[in-house]
Amino acid sequence: MTFPDLPASLAQALAERDYDSPTPVQLAVLEQEAVGRDLVVSAQTGSGKTVAFGLAFSEQLLDDNGRVPHAGAPLALVIAPTRELALQVSRELAWLYQKAGARIATCVGGMNPSQERRTLKSGATIVVGTPGRLRDHLERGALDLSQLAVAVLDEADEMLDMGFREELEGILDATPETRRTLLFSATMPRQIEALAKRYQRNSLRIATTGTERGHGDIAYQAVTVSPSEIENAVVNLLRFHDAETAILFCATRDKVRHMHAMLQERGFAAVALSGEHSQSERNQALQALRDKRARVCVATDVASRGLDLPNLSLVVHVEIPRDAEILQHRSGRTGRAGKKGTAVIVVPFPRRRRVESMLRSAKINAAWINAPDREAILEKDRERLLEALLQPVEVTDADRELADKLLAQRTPQEIAALLVQAHRAKMPEPEELLVNSPEKHREAQKERHRPGFEDTVWFRMDIGRRQNADPRWVLPLLCRRGHITRNEVGAIRIGPVQTHFQIPRAIADKFADALVRTAGDDENGGDVKIELSPEAPRDAARPSHRRGPPQAGRGGPRHAKKHRKGNSANAEPRGDKPAFKGKKRKFKPKPNKGA
């Protein structure tokens, strides 16, 4: 299917971007029966709706030569709920109308209003903005809507939800009755009907939701997990899919904050979007996602509205959406513009029925699967590593010289192993998941309470993943420094720059004394600062994980980049009492030399 006849300036703009076939919503707005009419279009972000209304209003905007005439006042107005969406719309219309010579003014909160006033005065033909800012300009006389030929309300449902009804009415009332009105909305609640009734005449309904190209390209998966394993399952999903950009949906801002902190702690480049973030924090987060400094976005439904991340290929519903419509709306962030996407619903065992019925009502066929386990992730890693490292390389003279030097001192196998380790070091460690059934979950919880570790104290040391901390050498170090045996160390939690571990309260004093005495003993790790921890680590309450056999290339302080949390009889998480509140003495280790 190709685009129907379009003005040359627009056809060229589309061709330059290789947009050779219209999306369903684009096709629908260009149909003969839609030409010139008011429209109510139900289309979601990702359906190509911006280009759709851009093409639809070309009729009101372009002269016979396919150019935008010089007008005394704006001819087209697009109102969008959020700053990001308005900027996005503005960017899309900019390339679409560049050859036609349109001048676009973007008016959004958080930008310099006097700069916007100047652009409006200098003859903008298309105005894109958010409701509040547009009404401001209108009231101050900077925005003249007397010549307006077409008004577009983008994500109209969202604007009404956000309480912008008054602003929208104020703006529309300032436009000529003869204008064309295009209403775009993901959902069609009653308020939208009322708006349509008041501001449109003989409007045409177009519904492309569900048939749009984005929808068909999403593979849905439902992943059942034990309720206490949700975070680990999310970590593993992110590691397994290794998406260029992924979005995680949570129901509340508290949950967003928590997930974000948890992911950062485990080494993911993640940003958060929720109601508690300021506009500038939001901008920074979005910029980080766009320029790939961050790959994971944790968001609430509201905060993620209007977000368009072109390379988003994974959506994870960390918390089950309220209803099928939200499920689809969240999932529709991926699988856009012809690309494939995956939407994963994390389903705690007790919520399975609820999710099944939600999927049925949305007519979504989801694959019910287990969360990817450690082995599956490591296998994927191997595939991806081979693919990445077997890409063709361009070798410069300087590189060749360096390669020769390396080859003179190391075997090719050693060099290849170093390369693999360097790549692998960038990847956060996958988690060990409990066997995926409620019974096994209960068993595992019981197992956490090992005799002797009912009452423990958290200590911490000033080395973490970044210093290659690993239980395999951390444990012997603790034994040497604290004069204890491996069996007297409880849970070990390795964070990015610190490691927490538990010692039974009964021997905590003895341990602390020994630490002071061995603090200067460099041969026995005396330069590592070890002290009582004022609090338990954030992930103290996580269920236990079994440690597998050591892996080639991962053992030892030098090469082991990440530890494997767990319980070789001596690294088992036990009890979760926070800090030692001993009355008798205050433990102060000798200051860390040189650190």
Q: Which positions touch ligand AMP (CB under 6 A)?
A: 19, 22-23, 26, 45-51, 92, 308, 310, 336-338
Identify which of 273, 262, 258, 264 has the alpha carbon closest to the alpha carbon of residue 330. 273
Return the number of the residue (311 or 570) whose C-beta is nearest ligand AMP: 311
At closest approach, how far in Å is the CB of 310 from ligand AMP? Answer: 6
The CA angle 83-88-91, to the nearest 5 degrees, is: 125
Is 16 or 399 the residue whose CB approaches ligand AMP more closely? Answer: 16
Contact (CB, 8 A) for 464 and 458 = no
CB of 195 to ligand AMP, least distance (A): 21
Other residues' Cβ atoms within 10 Å of the Cβ of residue 311: 15
Tell the smallest beta-carbon distance from residue 59 to ligand AMP (Å). 18
The span from the CA of 454 to the CA of 460, in Å, is 19
Nearer to ligand AMP, 215 or 562 (CB): 215
**Cβ nearer to ligand AMP, comparing 92 with 429:** 92
Give the CA count within 13 Å in the CB-facing half-sphere of 106. Answer: 19
Nearest residue (CB) to ligand AMP, 79 versus 434? 79
The helix or strand, by DSSP H or E, that contains position 503, with its residue range, turns out to be strand 499-504
Q: Among residues 46 and 504, whose Cβ is nearest to ligand AMP?
A: 46
Question: What is the smallest separation between the CB atom of 101 and ligand AMP, expressed in angstroms?
Answer: 20
Alpha helix positions (H), 433-525: 438-447, 471-482, 505-517
Task: Please say whether the beta carbons of 489 and 570 come within 8 A.
Answer: yes
Q: Which lies closer to ligand AMP via its Cβ, residue 188 or residue 444?
A: 188
The residue behind tokens 């973030």 is 277
Q: How far apart are CA 344 and CA 222, in angstroms?
A: 6
CB of 434 to ligand AMP, least distance (A): 40
- Give the number of residues written for the chain: 595
The C-alpha atoms of residue 552 and residue 16 are separated, in whole angstroms, by 50
Can you tell me the distance from the alpha carbon of 566 to that of 547, in angstroms, rounded to the nearest whole number? 5
Helix (H) or strand (E) holding 133: helix 131-139
Neighbouring-strand partners of residue 151: 77, 181
Q: How far is it, in rounded angstroms, from Cα 259 to Cα 250?
A: 9
CB of 271 to ligand AMP, least distance (A): 20
What's the closest the beta carbon of residue 95 comes to ligand AMP, in angstroms?
Answer: 8
Between 243 and 508, CB nearer to ligand AMP? 243
**26 or 274: CB nearest ligand AMP:** 26
Which DSSP symbol is given to 491?
A: -
- CB 106 → ligand AMP: shortest distance, Å? 16
| Smallest gap from residue 205 Cβ to ligand AMP (A) | 19
State which H helix or E strand residue 87 sits in.
helix 83-96
Sort strands 499-504 and 456-461 into parallel, antiparallel or unpaired: antiparallel
Q: How far is the CB of 209 from ligand AMP (least distance, A)?
A: 12
Q: Which is nearer to ligand AMP, 48 or 526 (CB)?
A: 48
In this structure, are residues 317 and 327 in contact, taking their beta carbons and an 8 Å threshold? yes
